Chain A
Amino acid sequence: MPRVVLVGNLAQLTGGVAEFQLSATSVKQLFQQLTELHPALEPHLAEGLAVAIDGQIYQDALFQPIGPNSEVFLMPQIAGGAGGRI
């Protein structure tokens, strides 16, 4: 299962837990599973976080696949992301 790591302040929303093993196969599933485990993350996931999968950073890419042995980091969006939509 992919290893998921929360970067920076996000672990404050999960009671200090910064690492997870989750069965998600896409960013969309990852967000769903994290929201179920820690509802406090939901607004941050909705606002937009960057997701680094095996070193490659993705922003606003819900359908991006996650491999079974992937290393995934959730971190603040970098320089804007796909913002500006209202």
Chain B
Amino acid sequence: MAENGTNGTNGQGYVGTRTIRPDGVDKVTGRARFGADFNLAGQLIGRVLRSPHPHARLVSIDTSKAEALPGVKAVITRDDFADQSSEFIPAGEMMMNYKDVVRNVMAREKVLYEGHAIAAVAATSTAIARKALKLIDVTYEILPHVIDVEEAMRPGAPVLHDDLFTVGVEPKPDKPSNIAKRVEIVLGDIEAGFKKADVIVERDFKTAPVHQGYIEPHAALASVSEDGSTELWCTTQGHFIVRAHCARLLGLDISKVRVTATEIGGGFGGKTVVYLEPLAIALSRKTKRPVKMVMTREEVFKASGPTSGATIHVKMGATKDGRFVAGFAELKYQAGAFQGSPVQPGVMCAYAPYDMENVKVIGYDVVSNRPKVAAYRAPGAPISEFAVESVVDEIAKKLGLDPIELRLMNAAHEGTKAAYGPKFGPIGLEETLNAVKKTEHWNTPLRKWQGRGLASGFWFNIGGETCASLTVNEDGTVSLMAGTPDIGGLRASLSAVAADELGIPYDKVRPIIGDTGSLGFTFLTGGSRSAFSGSMAIVEAAKQIKAELCARACKLWELKPEQVAFERGHVRPIGDAADKAKPMSLADFAKIAGKTGGPIGGYGRINAQGAGPSLGTHLVDLEVDPETGRVTILRYTVAQDAGRALHPAYVEGQFQGGAVQGIGWALNEEYIYGADGKLQNAGFLDYRMPVASDVPMIDAIVVEVANPKHPYGVRGVGETPIVPPLGAIANAMEQATGIRFTELPMSPPKVLKALKERELNKV
């Protein structure tokens, strides 16, 4: 029964309520099994040898001493992976190239970052595996390295890939460089737009690469049998994607690979790619024993993808009454060791919240000697929108306009032509701005050294291939199976939809996440798609069940199809046949399923289209300690358009989680490299993420502007909440200190330095 007591048997009522989480008890009692909790009898422990150098040629790898160590059952290197052709495919939320993927999971010609995998060992214990790693003899030819994006773009910079020629420039370059790609979008006439401007603000910004910071490290357990059948348990946002990548990298038939997604302790985009999974399978294939691999936190930082750091140049023009007439931006995003930064969505999102006639945004995808970036919540968007939202705030101040009113004046709305092409359908930015304006928060006075900042944000959202099934059990309860790992409340949300569609109590639906052998190909949990697409698949599956029940009722009651209907949880005779039979529930049909045609179920197999963008506005109060430079978040409000919240508590949780991650990105998080190209803060003690005691309760306002393309009006909500915090906090910092901070993170040393420099300038 739902905790609010809603009776779902009338076919209405669970969607939009705060139903009990089906996975909640297991999680709070410790019963839930995450990646590292899985074990098999006779399993070996796998460990990875990683490069101590940021850039070096691999002259030779001698594993003979390691292989001779008692307890070592197998060692793998580049020789255990066939090379891959250059072929781009969508991976998670970004594009990737299998030629690069095979080199990222196991270095071939060169190591390209500190932490790059060189070899892996399977042994009977962790201690033996570690000892074996020390016995692997690697000869390196050390090469000069480059870490910073601007330095990597300069002529004469160490070039990571001899075959990387910049795409998107004319004439085509005849020399390789670290610039993989130039992209741009253009709307209107940018020069003409600036000529109309009464005020122009131009700024340079810089952001640091930040890690997704999931608490659970990467973990995989593989078991390959003598006939090549492969089972894999791993923590991932998309087990069908893991299956596809592993099959490709190891030359396996997809049908022979079965992947089960474990419970996941956070992903945020970072678990949309493979690291350990193909290594564990390769080691198990060699040993014919299960192999378990778990990354240490240091390995997570050094070898799994953060998101890009970047430099951004923004120039915006507005008329004196506040209309934005031109917006230009140039974005340079770090991709890490292989091309494929999220610069494309960064370019497309930069000005997406605003209704502007003249926009030009240029982006560069740049490789350097860092781990390859992976998706991170709204990949690329927080970076570009941080810069734009900072400049919007400056324009408001220059014109003496209220920042909410300025945004309302320029807000994108239904019919606005987005800078990246199409016109928007119904969207809710104006509603979020108005919602924030009405809050008590917006109207509360501040004290000295306190500041209030506001920023808006945009993310596209996607649909994609999705399968889900509903099986009616013998007692009328329903088993729900989804193909996307549950990260943010999928099971609860889909169960509510299934209960409402079938008119049964919520607690009669039991959801699980199916393995790759149980459902058709299902794209991963990413792009804010799983609840959006999954609920569409559930509606389709329920529709099949209802049609089947009606067909059986026709035969039982000897009525025509138009004389029966599924209404309020029952199949009923209708019209002139209304009194011909007694309505039958799902449970009634379940009891006689065997006699009336066999088991009853529905299987939604769709490529979900119609995802609607989600826009949000964040408001933050903070206080700066002038003696230490420490910033304390005092109050925080998120307003975001959810279309319709299937499960409001989970939607609010997404808003709050995104805000907290954005607070960390804005104030503290950064990868710190030494001159030797080595990461100096690969641990949570030195890589400072916000914890519960660092932040106040985040107030969440769920705005609902229905997405007309979804049966319940749903929009994805998981990514947009990380977009506005960077700009909102920078804007609050400006109000608190009078200083425009343009470089993230705004950590205590930087704040203190800026305050001191201002004092010196006054003197």
Contacts and interface: CB of A to CB of B under 8 A. Distances in A.
Contacts of A82: 90, 464-465, 523, 607
Interface in A39-86: 47-48, 52, 54-61, 64, 71, 73, 75-86
Interface string B457-500: 00011111100000000000000000000000000000000000
Interface residues of A, number: 31
Given A7-B421, A9-B184, A80 B247 contact: no
B479 to A, nearest CB: 25
Interface string B416-434: 0000111111000000000
A18 B247 CA distance: 39
Interface string A1-42: 000010111001000000000000000000000000000000
A80 B523 contact: yes
B13 interface: no
B248 interface: yes
Interface in B142-200: 168, 170, 182-185
Contacts of A77: 90, 95
Interface string B41-77: 0000000000000000000000000000000000000
Interface residues of B, number: 49
Given A7-B420, A82-B523, A61 B460 contact: no
Contact of A76 (B92, B348, B379): B348
Given A12-B170, A81-B464, A86-B248, A55 B424 contact: yes
B527 A80 contact: yes
A8 B183 CA distance: 7
B281 to A, nearest CB: 15
Contacts of B183: 8-9, 76
A30 B92 CA distance: 27
Interface string B226-251: 00000000000010110011011000
Contacts of B184: 8-9
A71 B463 CA distance: 21
Nearest to A16: B170
Contacts of B247: 86
Contact of A55 (B94, B238, B425): B425
Nearest to B238: A84
Contact of A79 (B168, B345, B709): B345
Given A55-B425, A75-B420, A7 B185 contact: yes
A61 B463 CA distance: 11
Given A8-B183, A55-B425, A73-B422, A79 B610 contact: no
B217 interface: no
A78 B380 CA distance: 12
Contacts of A64: 609
B655 interface: no
Contacts, number: 117
B524 A84 contact: yes
A83 B168 contact: no
Contacts of A48: 90
A80 B89 contact: no
Contacts of B607: 60-61, 82
B330 to A, nearest CB: 15
A58 B609 contact: yes
B521 interface: yes
Interface string B84-109: 00001111111100000000000000
Contacts of A54: 422-423
Contact of B92 (A7, A12, A56, A80): A80
B611 interface: yes
A81 B90 contact: yes
B145 to A, nearest CB: 30
B617 interface: no
B464 A80 contact: yes
B344 interface: yes
B84 to A, nearest CB: 11
Interface string B501-540: 0000000000000000000010110110000000000000
Given A59-B609, A78-B527, A84 B422 contact: no
A20 to B, nearest CB: 14
Interface in B91-149: 91-95
A84 B433 CA distance: 37
B714 to A, nearest CB: 15
B329 to A, nearest CB: 14
B527 A79 contact: yes
B528 to A, nearest CB: 8
A60 B379 CA distance: 21
A5 B463 CA distance: 23
A56 B414 CA distance: 12
Contacts of B609: 56-59, 61, 64
A58 B421 CA distance: 13
Contacts of A59: 462-464, 609
B170 A56 contact: no
B526 A86 contact: no
Contacts of B241: 83-84
Nearest to A78: B460
20 contacts: A7-B421, A8-B183, A8-B420, A9-B168, A47-B88, A54-B423, A55-B422, A55-B423, A59-B462, A60-B464, A75-B420, A76-B183, A77-B95, A78-B460, A79-B345, A80-B90, A80-B93, A80-B526, A83-B90, A84-B90
Given A77-B90, A80-B527, 17 more contacts: A8-B184, A9-B168, A9-B183, A52-B422, A60-B607, A71-B422, A75-B420, A75-B421, A76-B344, A79-B461, A79-B526, A80-B90, A80-B92, A80-B462, A82-B523, A82-B607, A83-B90
Q: Which 8 A-B pairs have CB atoms at the shortest separation, nearest pair first?
A: A83-B90, A52-B422, A73-B421, A79-B527, A84-B241, A55-B423, A79-B93, A7-B421
